Amino acid sequence: MPDVPTIRLVVVDDHRLFVRGLELLLPATTDKRVEVVGSTGDASAAASLVSRCHPDLALVDLHMPPPGGVRAVAAIRRTTPRVRVVAMSGGDDPDPALEALRAGAEGYLPKSSQPEELLPPLLAVLDGWAVLPAELLRALLRPVRSAAIDLDVDERRLLRAVATGRSSVEIAGDLHVSERTVKRMIAALLRKLRVSSRAEAAALAGQVGLLGE
């Protein structure tokens, strides 16, 4: 059997029993190839823990008390960008997983995964691959049409203006409001569309056919 590098792992999860199970079972089921070198149930402490422990990878539960797992992912990626992050969740809703990927996670695994099943995806992430369950991948590839359907007339008009490259100043002139108001409106629109930038909003507008209206 070829040598497999040992993975130093930090676990960010407020379910202490789950964390303890990983601490005991991961070394046992992976021939000591995975070692938990630190853990915390406080999402706000995740980044500092990772900085102290120098792990190869951080495993982050998404359903944690505020500031929550997604912000923990973003903080880890911001402070220690060399550390890979894999998000985990016990729920079926794909939205938190998608938010974690946007925040910088390189993979997502369900918490129902057995410890002996974790080694291959963790090694894949360390090799630069993104690891996603098939159901989540299908959600990512599914055409996004519901977002535009849920927009009212004013929101659709604003999205069309953003997608055609009009500046905040130009949009403010069209709507007869201040530039500051336009920026607030655009921020609210991006949140509703679940995108993080004007470029993503423009791509979504094109995908749903809004630019041809």
In total, how many domains does the chain have?
A: 2
Q: How high is the pLDDT of residue 146?
A: 46
Looking at the structure, do residues 119 and 59 belong to the same domain, yes or no? yes
For residue 11, what is the enclosing H or E element? strand 7-12
Looking at the structure, do residues 74 and 160 belong to the same domain, yes or no? no
Average pLDDT, the chain: 86
Which domain, by its residues, includes 168?
146-212
Q: How high is the pLDDT of residue 37?
A: 96
Residue 2 lies in a domain: no
Q: How high is the pLDDT of residue 65?
A: 94
pLDDT tens digits, residue range 169-193?
999 998 899 999 999 999 998 888 8
Looking at the structure, do residues 152 and 199 belong to the same domain, yes or no? yes
Residues of the chain with pLDDT under 50: 1, 145-148
Looking at the structure, do residues 119 and 180 belong to the same domain, yes or no? no
Q: How high is the pLDDT of residue 211?
A: 66
Q: How high is the pLDDT of residue 21?
A: 93
Q: How high is the pLDDT of residue 147?
A: 45
Q: Are 179 and 168 in contact (CB under 8 A)?
A: yes
**Cα–Cα distance measured from residue 116 to residue 179, given in angstroms and rounded to the nearest whole number:** 55
From residue 86, give the alpha-carbon distance in Å to each of 125, 126, 136, 141. Answer: 8, 10, 14, 20
Looking at the structure, do residues 40 and 119 belong to the same domain, yes or no? yes
Q: Which of 82, 107, 141 is the last residue of a domain?
A: 141
Sign of the torsion angle spanned by Cα atoms 182, 104, 90, 143: positive
Q: Which ranges of the chain does DSSP label H, i.e. alpha helix?
A: 16-29, 46-53, 68-79, 94-103, 119-126, 134-141, 146-149, 153-163, 168-175, 179-193, 198-207
pLDDT tens digits, residue range 133-144?
887 777 666 555
Taking phi over 0 as left and psi of -120 to 50 as alpha, with beta for the rest, 176 belongs to left
Length of the chain: 213
pTM here is 0.66
Q: How high is the pLDDT of residue 1?
A: 42
Q: How high is the pLDDT of residue 19?
A: 94
CATH classification of the domain holding 169? 1.10.10.10
